Amino acid sequence: MLEKLKKEVYNANMLLPKMGLVTFTWGNVSGIDRKNNLVVIKPSGVEYDKLTPEDMVVVDFNGNKIDSKLNPSTDTPTHIYLYKKYLELAGICHTHSIYATSWCQAGIDLPTHGTTHADNFYGDIPCTKHLLEEQFVNYEHETGVIIYETLIKRNLNPKIMPAILCNNHGPFTFGDSPGKSVEIAKVLEIVAQMTFQSYLINKNNNQINQTLLDKHYLRKHGKKSYYGQK
């Protein structure tokens, strides 16, 4: 069932250790079949070198297992909630990569300090608020809710802001394919490290100005973009 998507999601998950984005089993990537509203995601707690495409778990929009002997990632409700809210999403990645997670643990936005950031994210990458005590009953679902509420409050969407920092937790990244969501996760990790090191060199705030941000983001993603080959 969904063999092509399983292979795509498997390949995306295998990029995580290859790109140095995960330790042990601390991460997951999913993809979605929009026609049938089925999500394919990494199984929970299985080491990457032991995974096969057939191990990828198929779940419906209620989180019910459709095709697998293994349990899906514990973060599955977060993925499902975001797929429901953002129909343009086709891939979601979650990691505990060191530098991006450090910003999550600091509980602050990742500011825009350079054109590497601006090429990929249209502004500061937001960090969510803390979950309330009562929200821990449905923790993974509520994580999706607070991600959505944060983006709405900031007037952002996954197209222009394909990453978010979950306070005290870790980053989620988004893409138009499972592989693209992993690519964004790698870019986020690099930018998080660059910004951290920038603060070590110069403690003064040196954020990019709006004109330079617009120039770099729009030349790559705008209607009149001219980056790359046509």
The Cα 62–Cα 215 span in angstroms is 42
Domain boundaries, the chain: 3-221
Given a cut of 80, is residue 70 above it in pLDDT? yes
Average the pLDDT over 187-194 and give the result. Answer: 98
Average the pLDDT over 3-20 and give the result. Answer: 98
Yes or no: say if 75 and 83 are a contact pair by the CB < 8 Å rule.
no
Average the pLDDT over 94-105 and give the result. Answer: 98
List strands edge to edge, sheet with 65-67: 65-67, 57-60, 38-41, 27-33, 91-95, 171-175, 163-165
Catalytic (active-site) positions: 119, 227
pLDDT digits (tens, 9 = 90+) for 211-228: 999 999 999 999 989 998
Q: How confident is the model at residue 99 (pLDDT cuts 50, 70, 90)?
A: very high
pLDDT digits (tens, 9 = 90+) for 48-63: 999 999 999 999 999 9
> 155: how many CB neighbours lie within 10 A of its CB?
8
List the one residue out of 12, 160, 200 whose CA is nearest residue 95. 12
The Cα 73–Cα 80 span in angstroms is 11
The Cα 229–Cα 7 span in angstroms is 28
Match 């069932």 to its residue by tokens: 1
Could you tell me the two tokens for 188?
């986020």
What pTM was computed for the model? 0.95
Domain 3-221 sits in CATH at: 3.40.225.10
Residue 35: exposed, middle, or buried by beta-carbon count in 10 A (0-12, 13-18, 19+)?
exposed
